[in-house]
Structure 1
């Protein structure tokens, strides 16, 4: 079984296409189960954010699953395969591990080093766990990816060299409005991105913050955390009229802010939603500046990030390379475990059978003498097996490690899938990893 990634991101697809392919809520859960129901898929997880949609799967067939996952993305999004396929990428085995570690470390983000991706990967992991589509392989891989992401932020300046999309958006707002202190800000939505936006505004010295959300109670809770006030969703147009800076990120499927709701004047709107919350026609209004994921993708963020970016990126790439090598080495070593257990199980069976024959032939061997003979035979077998089993585990860590386990199976006529001992080990490992 190997890890496969099929997906698209801001690096391979325009935001307009990502909007159509992006899934959330019940649609995300449905896609997750549709992937996992494939006969060649043992485990599945989906990372779906404003910048990427990626299906991670543990598979025993490559081409069949790539075709099936691509077809499911097409069906769920309504995007014809001929339009979708050119923007998809596929990573397999070692490349899949490297890709996930790079994503978690922030190297593949629109804004290099942004920390939100860690939470998004963790959310994907939690959903797969809750839906029962996660097993030992993906669980360990994703947990390690999260550790790599944390290490990257702790040991380098990647989070300072880059910034979150919200931080970048506020730098763009300063270009349009000047200093943000004293400005009135309107936050539309009360989810995780909106909460981050409100908190960032507060840290930037913006004290006049209004929160609007369809569920007023959630707007009230968010407003309280930043010392702002909440307004009813029906008051959105009126609140827009008094706002200098607007940040919108809702889960709506249709436009929330139309051009007719915005009064032409000096004003900045940041649309972080996928699909769009703000009608792109707002850009044509005199004095109004609109930044969204598409415009950021097309280059508006150039020159916004802090210094030290190149050095931080190089340091994180080094960490990712190191962690990928360590993970793959440990994973290859783990693959030989069933073979080693099978060998020891077979040897133990031979020992017990021979001891049984000895007792039947020489029945007068009893008590302490019988125990001494049994212990001596077991020690001899253990010593004979110690060196080859240690060596095969060491050799298994190399890229061609599977060949050594295969050779051991051939030499001793082993089938690691058959012995009860192997099945018990695999079951215990699965329970521990979960």
Structure 2
């Protein structure tokens, strides 16, 4: 077993490349189909979100797995392989586990701490399970990752980090347009980040908060919670004209506000200062909109720079990083124990077979032995064997923290002359089927 993750995100690739490699349902399905035919991959799971495209796999060989996954990504996204490889990251074994847990916690998201990633990972796992593309390795990894992500959000105040991101964006907008208490704000979208933006605007006393969303019912539900008002999606252009600040965070694959529309809106406003806070990826607002007279655009890249510059990454992040380190260590220890367990099972089976054979031989040679004595002899022999095997069994738990169980298992093979085919059979018998995860897992 070799665990591997290959992908690209906002940390490794420019936004324009991320947009080109974003996988919709059709391309994600195509990628999974291509990878499913690979002889190098035993299990595979594709994760695609607004700011990352990743492939997790249990591969036969490291280099073979990297080569096939990289080429499949290039083929499906139609990005030249050399260009794509310059921005791909590769994590192997322990680092792959750490990366999966960090992603689940939102530590690797552009909006640090965002919780939507949990739902996206859960959806990716369910899809892979339904297509029979994952087995015990990736099922175990992702179910543990989902639990770690949930723990990060329930045991720390990580959710406040997203609030810092929204606050930083609104502060930048306020510097450009003036106090929000005297300004109208349009929020486009009705998801988690949009709700956080509406809540922040309400607390800061924005003069007016308007919500526009493709699904009117969602917009109205959000508006009722914060005494905001809504406009129909078809009326968003008029709403743009009246808004001094526009906050966007949708899942659209194309631009919500392009250069032409921004110029039209700016002209209708007589070029009064207007700010767009774009919290989406792919971007909702074309970067060139910032070149329009009177208009400022603040995107996630800019907000990341601001937060890093001002030291706005709070203590909660370090708490979660420590939690991830703890969880990774525990997961790897359990995994090492699980790896040697088939050897111990084979060892005990071998011992039982030897004991049974010797007791049968004793029965043949001492037919005069009474039943009570025979039972006592059998019990004594079993106790002796159990005591001999006790120490090797205990040592597995002790050595799990030292990452030497592999050499320990090999020593047991040699010392007790265990049949490798028996160990393999035990391993196969211990493989558990994929477990469907419900809402309670994350």
TM-score by length of 2: 0.84
Residue 279 of structure 2 corresponds to which residue in structure 1? 272
* In 2: Cα distance, 1:376 partner to 1:198 partner: 74
Q: Are the counterparts in 1 of residues 139 and 435 from structure 2 also a CA contact under 8 Å?
A: no
Shift of 1:17: 0.7
Q: Where do residues 144-293 of structure 1 align in structure 2 (5 Å cutoff)?
A: 144-149=144-149, 160=160, 163=163, 165-206=165-206, 208-262=208-262, 263-264=265-266, 265-293=272-300
* In 2: Cα distance, 1:166 partner to 1:132 partner: 40
Shift of 1:412: 1.7
* In 2: Cα distance, 1:177 partner to 1:115 partner: 30
Deviations 1:203-222 (A, max 9, x none): 44447333333333343334
Shift of the 303–55 alpha-carbon distance from structure 1 to 2, 3 Å rule, reads: same
* In 1: Cα distance, 2:242 partner to 2:216 partner: 19
Shift of 1:94: 1.5
Shift of the 385–2 alpha-carbon distance from structure 1 to 2, 3 Å rule, reads: same
Gaps of 5+ in 2: 267-271, 438-442
Residue 75 of structure 1 corresponds to which residue in structure 2? 75
Shift of the 420–94 alpha-carbon distance from structure 1 to 2, 3 Å rule, reads: closer
Q: Where do residues 10-409 of structure 1 align in structure 2 (5 Å cutoff)?
A: 10-113=10-113, 116-149=116-149, 160=160, 163=163, 165-206=165-206, 208-262=208-262, 263-264=265-266, 265-296=272-303, 299-303=305-309, 306=312, 309=314, 314-365=318-369, 367-409=371-413
* In 1: Cα distance, 2:173 partner to 2:130 partner: 39
* In 2: Cα distance, 1:272 partner to 1:149 partner: 22
Shift of 1:400: 2.9
Residue 426 of structure 1 corresponds to which residue in structure 2? 430
* In 2: Cα distance, 1:426 partner to 1:7 partner: 31
- Name which of structure 1's ranges 58-67 and 262-271 shifts more when overlaid on structure 2: 262-271
Residue 2 of structure 1 corresponds to which residue in structure 2? 2
Q: Are the counterparts in 1 of residues 50 and 251 from structure 2 also a CA contact under 8 Å?
A: no
Matched, 1:411 2:415: yes
Over aligned residues, Cα RMSD in angstroms? 3.2
TM-score by length of 1: 0.85
**Count of residues in Structure 1 that have an aligned counterpart in Structure 2:** 430
Shift of 1:430: 4.8
